[in-house]
Structure 1
Amino acid sequence: MPTQLQIAEHLGITQQAVSKTLDKMGIVEWQLLSLDQIRLAYIKRLREVAAGHASIDGQYDLNKERVMTERVDRELKQYQLAEKKKELVNVETLMTELSIVFQGMRQELLSRDDKLKTELDTLYGIDVDVSILNEHTTDVLNHLSRYLNGRAGSLPALGGNNEAAGENGDNGMG
């Protein structure tokens, strides 16, 4: 059973470096090994470090780091290619476009209520309360605005304010 001082002299390192070196080599029960076995494990470790398969401090596996870097580079190139092929969508641009589309749809649906009221009044000779139509339209618009995931800041609040819907939809036509 060799001592740490004997191992240090045999490997040509300081006694203080022996326990760290043995730990980096994964040798826990060094007392059960011969000096030759420890020397061979030490040489193997030095070769791995020299070949780039391991780092000196034992923190990094240099080959794994290289593989990870290559993977990231490949993924970035795939994104660049997809962008050039117009297969990627910029989320911010998409949300801006969706806000514009929803705003236009909102205006169309609200104006539809006024047109529908006028048509029903004319066809059936009755006075339809436009706020009833606005309430259903507002419910649909509120449901659709949830798809903007909190980005509906560009859309006016639709809330359950039926009085405002009635005032906006009535336009003195009723």
Structure 2
Amino acid sequence: MRKLYLSALILCAGLSISAQEVMWQKDIKSSTQDFLSQVTTTIDQQYLITGSSIQSKGQSPAASGQKQNNGYDFHLVKLNQQGEEVWEKYFSGQNHDYLSATVTTQDGGFLLAGTSYSGKGLNKKDDSKGGSDIWLIRINEFGDELWQKTLGSSSDEEARSVIQTTDLGFFVAGNVTTL
């Protein structure tokens, strides 16, 4: 009897896997070194692709209204249901900044959580607390910044995960390396 259930499970799993088809695919090019951290479904059933990248030299930050450094930046691309770009944003400090977690908020915006090696400058409004810090950025559904916060100490902190709590606050989890 166990073999029958196991065989049926394997057959159903195999059929469901092979029944999938690609609706669309998208190649998002920004630089030679990109790191994808998360794909998030938005409240309006679109997609927010988040990660870290070095802005390519061919991009004109002045034309796009973006500030640029030579390190990694938070990189966000919102796509509609057909895979077409709705908007693209970068959030940059003066050094390397790695976006590691994103959560959709109940009002349709997002909270971005990552690790920053940057002090105050460009998009980053707070000084470094020492070492690497957790950098939180709250944005609306259009990618416009609502607020930001740098959390840290003289140790190295890095964000790993973020959720919105039932009281509309946020819970951020991460690592701390004490020197």
TM-score (structure 2 length as normaliser): 0.23
Compute the TM-score of the two structures, normalised by the length of structure 1. Answer: 0.23
Larger Rg: 1
- Which is richer in helix? 1
Q: Going by fraction, where is strand more abundant, 1 or 2?
A: 2
